[in-house]
Structure 1
Amino acid sequence: MRAALIPEPGRPPVVADREPPEPGPGEVLVEVLAAPITPLDVLCASGRSYFGVPRTPYVPGVQGVGTLDGRTVWFPTPAGMAPGDGSMAAVACVPEADLVPLPAGVDPVRLAALGLSAVAAHRALLSTGGLRPGETVIVLGAGGVVGQVAVQLARLAGAARVVAGARSAAARERASAAGADAVVALDTDDVAELAGRFTEAAGGPAHLVLDPLYGVPAAAAAQALGPGGRLVNLGSSAGDTFPVDSSTLRSRSLRVLGYTNNALTREERAESVAHLAGQELTVAHETVPLADAGAAWERQAAGAAQGRIVLVV
C-alpha cells in the first residue's frame, strides 16, 4: 500500500510502498478516504513535543475518515505520540472501539478538515466555557480551524454577538466568512489598545473568551470581559505566558479555565464528532493527493496553505 512516512524527526514525510498493517486483538483495518495535516502532526514529527521523540519511520496522522464494511467512519490514532502508525496511508489499523460511525452522505474531506480541532472548539466553548444563549463571545485565533468552528458554534448556540480576533488579513477574512459580527486585527502588542478594540467591537463587556493563542491577545481579551466572565485557554501560539494583572482578575471575579482534548473520554470524543458531523459546519480547506504529502506538509507547517490541508487517498 502507499503511505506517507516520516523518515526521521524534523523531516517532512516521503511517500513509499509498505506492507499493509496486521490488526491485533480488537483492531480493524480502515480504508482511508481523507487525512488532515494538523499542527499536532507537525509538532509530534518534529521530535520537540512533550510526547518525546517518535520512533521512525512511522506513518503520521492523528485522525482520519475512512470506510469499514461499507460504513463511513471517523477515527483517531496516537501516531507520533506513541509507537504505531497513523492515518496518512491507504489503510489504517485502528481499535474498533475508537471508530465513530458517520451519517450517510457526509463529506469525508469536510469532516476530516474539522476533526479534532472542531472537537476542541465544541467542548471548550459549550462544556468548559458554558456558553449560554444571549451572551457575547470573543473568539481569538478565529482564522484557524478551532476559531472558525467556534464562531459558527457560538452562532448555533444562540450567542447574541460574536467578536473574532485574528492576525493576518487572510485569517480575518476567514473569520468574517465564518459569521463573526465584528473582526479585530491582532496587529499590535499593546494590551490596552487591543482591549479597547475588543470592548468596542463587543458593544460592552463580553461574557466568554475562547483562546487558542494566550499571550498578549488573551490578556487584552480578558480586560474586555465583564463581571463573572470566563476565559477558556486551549493553546499558546502567541506566547507561553499571560500578562494579565491581578486587579483585572479580582475586580471582576474572572475565571481562567484550561482545556485539552487529551482529557476527554472515548465516549465524550465520539459524542462531539457525531454532533459535529450532523451540523452544517465548514472551514477553509484544500485537498491534496497522498502522493504529494511531502510538499503539502511543508506548506502546512510554514503556514502557507489556504486553510487546513486534507490528504485524499
Structure 2
Amino acid sequence: MRAAVLHTPGQSPSYAEHPPPTAAAGTTTVRVTAAPLVPLDLLCASGTSYFGVPATPYVPGGQGVGVVESSDVHPVGARVWFFATAGMQPGDGAHAELCAVPDVDVVPIEAAVPDELAAAFGLSGIAAWMALSWRARLQSGERALILGGGGAVGQVGIGVARVLGASTVVAMARPESMSRAEASGADVVVPLEGEVDLVAAALAEHGPFDVVLDPVCGVASTAALRNLAEQGRLVNLGGAASDQATYSSAVIRSRTASVLGYTNNALTSDQRGEAITAVLGHAAAGRIRMQYDVRPLAEVEQVWTSKVAGESEVRCVLVP
C-alpha cells in the first residue's frame, strides 16, 4: 500500500510503499478516506514527546475516517471514524491507504457530513465536547470564554458552548485567526494583543465568565483567570502558546474558582465514541463548524514540513 512513512524521528515522512496491515483477532482494518495531520502527530514523530522515541519505520496518524475493509465486529463497508496510537505505541497509523486498529476504537458515522470534515473534527472535537460538557459541566445560561478561538479546538469549542446553552460565547484569538472564530459563531471575538494587563482589561469588557476553555495557556490563560465569575471554572487542555501561566491565589480563593486539567487520554473508548457522534451530529445540522484544508496524501512531505515550520494554522486533512 501507499503511505506516509517516517524513517527518522524529527524529519518529515516520505510517500512510499509500505507493508499493509495484517488482519488479527480483535482488530478492524479500515480503508482510509481522510486523516488529519495534527500537532500530536508532529510531536510524536519528533521523538521528543513523553511517549518516547517511536520505533521506525512507521506510519504516523492518530485518527482517521474510512470504510471497514475487514472486521469480526463492524460491518464491511460501514463508514467509520477511528482512533490509532501511532507514535504513542508501536504500530502504524492513519496516514495510509489502510489502517488496522482495535475494534473498540472504531466508531460508526451516522451523521451526513463529508469524510474530510469528520476527520478534521476528530480528537479536537472530542476534546472540546468533553472539556466543556464533562470537565467544566457548562450549564445553560452560563457565559463561556473560548481561548485560541481560531484554532481547531477553539472553533469547535465555540459551537459546543452554543449547543450546551451558553448565554454568551466570547472567543479570544490572535488577529490573523479572528475570522475563523467569527465564522464559528462567537458572539464577540477579542484580539489577543499586548501584555497580560491589557488582555485582561479587554476581556473584562465582556465578562465575567463562568467557564473558560483554554487550549493555549500563557498570557491568555492568566488574563482569563482574572475574569472568572464566582465559582467559575477554567479548563486547560493544551499549551499551544506556552506551557506556563501565572495564577493569583487571591483571585482563585476570593471567587471559589477552579482550575481544571483535561486530556483525551483519560477517556474510555465509549466516551470517545459518544463525543465524536455528538459533535458530528451537530456539525451535520450546521451548529458546529471548522475551517480546514484538504491535501493529497502524496504531498505529505511538503505538508508536514510546512506544518513544522508553522506556516499554516488551518487544520489539514490528508486524502489517500
TM class by shorter chain equals over 0.9
Q: Is 1:251 the counterpart of 2:232 in the alignment?
A: no
CA deviation after TM superposition for structure 1 residue 104, in Å: 6.0
- Kept in 2, the 8 Å contact 1:66–1:108? The answer is yes
Percent identical residues:
48
Distance 1:140 1:163 in 2: 9
The letter of the residue matching 2:204 is T
Q: Is 1:242 the counterpart of 2:245 in the alignment?
A: yes
Q: What is residue 275 of structure 2 aligned with on the other side?
A: 272
Q: What is residue 43 of structure 1 aligned with on the other side?
A: 43
- Kept in 1, the 8 Å contact 2:31–2:97? The answer is yes
Distance 1:193 1:187 in 2: 8
Count of aligned pairs between the two proteins: 309
Deviations along 1:24-76, one digit per CA (max 9) or x if unpaired, are: 22112110000100000000000000100001110000000010111100001
- Kept in 2, the 8 Å contact 1:285–1:306? The answer is no
Deviations along 1:276-311, one digit per CA (max 9) or x if unpaired, are: 121123311011111101111122233323611100
- Kept in 1, the 8 Å contact 2:161–2:169? The answer is yes
Deviations along 1:201-240, one digit per CA (max 9) or x if unpaired, are: x2x4111111011122111001111111110000112222
Distance 1:303 1:220 in 2: 25
The two structures have a TM-score, normalised by structure 1, of 0.96
Q: What is residue 141 of structure 1 aligned with on the other side?
A: 148
- Kept in 1, the 8 Å contact 2:151–2:313? The answer is no
Distance 2:228 2:47 in 1: 38
Deviations along 1:142-163, one digit per CA (max 9) or x if unpaired, are: 1111000000111112111111
Which region of structure 1 is more displaced relative to structure 2, 147-156 or 190-199? 190-199
Distance 1:234 1:306 in 2: 18
Match of 1:116 among 123, 126, 137: 123
Q: Please, what is the CA RMSD of the aligned residues? A: 1.2
- Kept in 2, the 8 Å contact 1:110–1:282? The answer is no
Q: Is 1:15 the counterpart of 2:22 in the alignment?
A: no
Q: Is 1:187 the counterpart of 2:193 in the alignment?
A: yes
CA deviation after TM superposition for structure 1 residue 106, in Å: 3.0
Q: How do 1:99-110 residues align onto structure 2 when only pairs under 5 Å count?
A: 99-103=106-110, 105-110=112-117
Distance 1:305 1:23 in 2: 37
* Cα gap change, 1:178 to 1:86, in 2 (>3 Å): same
The letter of the residue matching 2:236 is N
Deviations along 1:238-273, one digit per CA (max 9) or x if unpaired, are: 222221121111111110000000000111011111
The two structures have a TM-score, normalised by structure 2, of 0.94
Q: Which runs of 4+ in 1 moved over 3 A?
A: none
3-state SS in 1 of match to 2:282? coil
Q: How do 1:42-81 residues align onto structure 2 when only pairs under 5 Å count?
A: 42-68=42-68, 69-81=76-88
The letter of the residue matching 2:95 is M
Match of 1:198 among 193, 197, 203: 203
Distance 2:182 2:55 in 1: 41
3-state SS in 2 of match to 1:115? helix
Name stretches of at least 5 consecutive residues in structure 1 with no aligned partner: none
The letter of the residue matching 1:227 is E
